């Protein structure tokens, strides 16, 4: 059974908001649940967190290359 509403996730943290989007059953058209809508500020924060994660991965790879061949 579905919950009444669902949060969105930012950096693996559930976030609930006052704005929701109705989710409809595709066969009956009935509203079956709601999902939280993220504000633009939080969407940008999520993109920034993603970019930092990629940068950390890239720097780790670079560090491993330097350790293997320091010249």
Asked if residues 12 and 1 have their Cβ atoms less than 8 Å apart, the reply is no
Domain ranges of the chain: 1-38, 39-71
Determine how many CB atoms are found less than 10 A away from the CB of residue 44: 11
Distances from the Cα of 15 to the Cα of 33, 45, 59, 67, angstroms:
16, 13, 30, 40
58: its two tokens = 């890239």
User: What value, to the nearest 5°, has the Cα angle with vertex 31 and ends 27 and 35?
Assistant: 120
Write the pLDDT tens digit of every residue in 4-62: 999 988 777 888 889 999 999 999 999 999 999 888 777 777 777 788 877 888 787 77
Which pLDDT score is estimated for 66? 66
**How many whole angstroms separate alpha carbon 27 and alpha carbon 46?**
33
């Amino acid at each position: 059974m579905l919950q009444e509403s669902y949060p969105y996730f930012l950096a693996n943290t559930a976030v609930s908001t006052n704005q929701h989007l109705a989710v409809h059953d595709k066969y009956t058209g009935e509203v079956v649940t709601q999902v939280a809508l993220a504000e633009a500020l939080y969407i940008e924060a999520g993109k920034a967190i993603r970019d930092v994660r990629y940068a950390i991965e890239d720097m780790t790879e670079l560090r491993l290359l330097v350790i293997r061949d320091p010249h």
